Amino acid sequence: MQSKWNLVWDNCLKIIKDNINIQSFKTWFEPIKPVALDNNVLTIQVPSQFFYEWLEEHYVTLLRKTIKRELGDDAKLEYRILMESNTQSTNPATVNYPNSRESSNYMNEMNMPGIFSTPMVKNPFVIPGLKKINVDSQLNPNYTFDNYVEGDCNRLARSAGMAVAKAPGGTAFNPLVLYGGVGLGKTHLVQAIGNFIKTANSNKSVLYVSSEKFTNQFVDYLKNNNVNDFIHFYQMIDVLILDDIQFFSGKTRTQDIFFHIFNHLHQSGKQLILTSDRAPKDLEGMEERLLSRFKWGLSADLQIPDFETRIAILKNKMHADGIEIPNDVVEFVAYNIKSNVRELEGVLISLLAQSSLTRQEINLELAKKTVMSFVKSVSKEISMETIQKTVCDFFEVPIDKLKEQTRKRHVVQARQLSMYFAKEYTNQSLKAIGSHFGGRDHSTVIHSCQAVRNLIDTDEEFKESVDELKKRIQLSI
Ligand code: ADP
Ligand code: MG
């Protein structure tokens, strides 16, 4: 025979079902179990704290209205939350749902800690076969602290990383957010932290995941109506390393789910380590509440390594691979490849490959050729003359025309493009650039650059010409 609360809840479900989409219904309402009805207080059991928070955040109004409709104005709702399955002594928490007269400040009350009262019920969301210990960390064991060269550029990030590695969840650096441009060592450092923790604590589940993979997984689970498995999985992790969170920008649903996972882990003293290609404050399309969480811990940036550190990184890599390269070559490479450690390594690998293929020894000559193919402007700056000449050759316009007042279309285009490239490739001021075009003023240069950018965005053929010109200019040095 059906109990009274089952009947009431069944009626509620019918109303709820009509008001939300089927997928949300399956995800968030089907797993709910009504467990009691006393004094007009309906108690429903939800699988986790996370689940409760989600319902409160997204469905509180619907729930409140529905329950009042079924049970009258003085109806109350109580949640019973199943605690995580690994702590056997803990009982489910009960959270009181406020009654209607207090509903204006219900949100405050919901933040009160739960009351632990009812006996333990087995958590239905344990994924069969998925034990804590079995989580594959997805870490690459080659990234360690030992082969992460220290320099001024990474000192703070590295030492904060080390502190977290020694006491995950036990420092003020939670979350630890590491940010910096491409190829500056973010992934290496966070993986080193993960590997360190794994080695020191075999019982801790560490997980490295890119934000892209996290998002794709979430979408898959959503499609298959298994969001709870997804959540549950992430809630079991002791150290969550999420790489490249800028990928979340504009993805509100993913941010939403991550926000809750974040809260859960943080509250349980678990460690969160995040990376981003820019400072959290500069992340766009990110929910404010998520950004504010990032500020709870420490944000440390990775900067471009200085010359000495670049040499140290190259030597470290050579040492690891057991190769010898003359000092002048190492210095040449370190001097010319400035902004990106990945490129630095790329040149090294490319040098090795070329020397073994051509059986040529690695010398300065070979290094120059290799470096050339990696960077657009090797120490030598591209000159204004080079730019003007390349562009004018391309459009078959005499160089002198650039300085004249003529408004013929292809001359105007050549002039604007030359100014644009001058802005891109030289360090000259707008005024100085203008002076190379018959003394035009800086606002003309700004206007030209803007006109070129607009055309690049809207005119495919024009963009192709620009790409071709870029190549020619770079080759001309
Ligand atoms: P990011 O994630 O910031 O784009 P990565 O961590 O992938 O950069 O680093 C790019 C490459 O440079 C990797 O092969 C990494 O091992 C290497 N690298 C970066 N910084 C250092 C460093 N300080 N010491 C040694 N190798 C480094
Ligand atoms: Mg990376």
Q: Are 55 and 20 in contact (CB under 8 A)?
A: no
Cα 368 to ligand 1 centre (Å): 23
Q: What is the residue whose two structure tokens read 């404010």?
A: 288
Tokens for 359? 């059986």
Mean pLDDT of 267-285: 94
Summarize pLDDT for 7-16 with one digit per residue, the tens. Answer: 999 999 999 9
Q: Find the 191 Cα to ligand 2 centroid distance in Å.
A: 10
CA of 350 to the centre of ligand 2 (A): 21
The per-residue pLDDT for range 176-195, each reduced to its tens digit, is: 999 999 999 999 999 999 99
Query: Which residues lie with the beta carbon below 6 Å from any ligand 1 atom?
Result: 147-149, 154, 180, 182-188, 313, 316, 341-342, 345
Q: Tell me how far the alpha carbon of residue 44 lies from the centroid of ligand 2, in angstroms.
A: 43
CA of 144 to the centre of ligand 1 (A): 11
Q: State in Å: Cα 362 to ligand 2 middle.
A: 30
Within its chain, how far is the Cα of 57 from the centroid? 24
Band of the pLDDT at 440, cuts 50, 70, 90? very high
Task: Give residue 202's pLDDT band: very low, low, confident or very high (50, 70, 90).
Answer: confident
CA-nearest residue, atom 5 of ligand 1: 185
pLDDT of residue 424: 84
Residue nearest to atom 1 of ligand 1 (CA): 183
Q: Give the 3-state secondary structure of residue 87.
A: coil
* 8 Å CB contact between 460 and 438: no
Task: Find the ligand nearest to 155 CA.
Answer: 1
* Range with the poorest average pLDDT among 61-75, 92-106, 140-154: 92-106
Q: Which atom of ligand 1 is nearest to the CA of 189?
A: 6
Distance 7 CA to ligand 2 centre (A): 53
Q: What is the rounded distance in angstroms from the CA atom of residue 32 to the CA atom of residue 41?
A: 16
Ligand 1, residues 150, 193, 277, 341: which to mutate, most atoms within 8 A of Cβ?
A: 341
Tell me the ligand closest to 211's alpha carbon.
Answer: 2
pLDDT at 425: 81
pLDDT at 273: 98
Closest ligand 1 atom number to CA of residue 188 = 6
Question: What is the number of the ligand 1 atom nearest to the C-alpha of 344?
Answer: 12
Query: In this model, does residue 110 exceed pLDDT 90?
Result: no
Q: How far is it, in rounded angstroms, from Cα 347 to Cα 223?
A: 43
Nearest-CA residue for ligand 1 atom 23 is 149
Query: Which ligand is nearest to the Cα of residue 349, counting in written order?
Result: 1
Ligand 2 center to residue 31 CA distance, Å?
Answer: 37
CA distances, 35 to each of 79, 105, 421 (Å): 10, 26, 71
Strand order in the sheet with 41-46: 33-38, 41-46, 76-81, 93-96, 115-116
Angle made by CA atoms 313, 365, 381, in degrees to the nearest 5: 75
CA count, 13 A, side-chain hemisphere, 267:
11
Instruction: Give me the mean pLDDT over the 270-290 stretch.
Output: 94
Residue 161 · residue 173 · CB < 8 Å: no
Which residue segments constitute the domains of the chain, with CATH numbers given?
4-109 (3.30.300.180), 155-302 (3.40.50.300), 307-377 (1.10.8.60), 384-475 (1.10.1750.10)
- Point out the ligand nearest to the CA of residue 208: 2
- Distance of CA 447 from the midpoint of ligand 1 (Å): 39
From ligand 1's centre to the CA of 236, what distance in Å?
29
Euclidean distance between CA atoms 178 and 384, whole angstroms? 39
Residue nearest to atom 9 of ligand 1 (CA): 185
Instruction: Give me the mean pLDDT over the 396-414 stretch.
Output: 91
Q: Whose CA is nearest to atom 21 of ligand 1?
A: 185
Which residue among 188, 241, 333 has the greatest number of ligand 1 atoms within 8 angstroms of its CB, and so is best to mutate? 188
Q: Between β-strands 206-210 and 176-179, what pairing exists: parallel, antiparallel or unpaired?
A: unpaired
Strand partners, 174: none
140 with 167: CB under 8 angstroms?
A: no
Measuring from atom 11 of ligand 1, which residue has the nearest CA?
342
- Top pLDDT among 342 and 112 is at 342
| Percent over 70 (pLDDT), the chain | 87
The mean per-residue pLDDT over the stretch 468-476 comes to 79
- What pLDDT does 90 receive? 34
